[in-house]
Structure 1
Amino acid sequence: MAGTAAAGAFFTALAGGFEGWTVVAAIMTVVLFAGCWFSYRDGARRGAAEPHIIQYHPDSPDEVIDIDTDTGERQPYQD
């Protein structure tokens, strides 16, 4: 969002004829969009390298269990 705001500031400065601010806004736009791209690339690389660990917890929809109403004992679901 900051890159988009910097691009808006760039176009505003460009339309207003403020040459110095146009240069500053152009540099900031490039820096912010490059930072966004590097952040996205790093996140994709990190996500591919880390295994997705599935942890069991009692409320998991992947594990169906029967609960005995008298004792509260949990057993794997039997068809």
Structure 2
Amino acid sequence: MPAGGLAHRIYREPQGWRSGLFLILVWGAITVAAPLSMDDPAVRLTWATAGLAGVVNGIAEFFPTDRQVSANLLRL
């Protein structure tokens, strides 16, 4: 992996509303369905937390980063 490749994989620009909506729907379903099928409360909490984190990432896909805002302002 080239230098900065891992950082590029971790930090990426938002992809738009389609991927955001997909993340929200999939992780929202996981948040609801996974805890219902588990017996252990700790495992339920873990799946619910992971699902909510995925939903938050989906919501974040809707908002531009500072770099995108700056580029749009420079175009004006």
TM range (shorter): 0.3 to 0.5
Higher strand proportion (structure 1 or 2): 1
Query: In terms of Rg, which structure is larger?
Result: 1
The higher relative CO (CA closer than 8 Å, separation ≥ 6) is in: 2
Higher helix proportion (structure 1 or 2): 2
Structure-2-length-normalised TM-score: 0.41
Structure-1-length-normalised TM-score: 0.40
